[in-house]
Amino acid sequence: MRVTIAIVLSATALAACTPESNNDVTGSVDNCARKLYSQYNPKDKKQCVAVCIACERGVVTTCSTACTLKGAI
């Protein structure tokens, strides 16, 4: 019985620790980006960072890193 409870508690703890998906289901980031830039290009680092800060509530350091990892130049 104790083993079963331990397994259930462990599974619950692991499920709670899974990272959240960063998918924007509602499209609100895309809409926000279009409001800032009519021709938004996510590969343009300046635009990418600006959209990240304004639409995703990021900060310069993390947004710059995220954009670089996404391939912005």
Distance CA 15, CA 34 (A): 35
Q: What integer is the mean pLDDT of 25-45?
A: 88
Domain membership of residue 21 (yes or no) is no
Domain membership of residue 35 (yes or no) is yes
Amino acid identity, residue 59? V
Domain membership of residue 36 (yes or no) is yes
Domain count for the chain, please give it: 1
Instruction: State if pTM tops 0.75.
Output: no
Q: What integer is the mean pLDDT of 24-28?
A: 66
Domain span at residue 48? 27-73
For residues 40 and 52, the answer to whether their CB atoms sit within 8 Å is no
| Residue with more model confidence, 14 or 53 | 53
DSSP letters spanning 23-46: --SS-HHHHHHHHH-TT--TTSHH
Domain membership of residue 42 (yes or no) is yes
Domain membership of residue 43 (yes or no) is yes
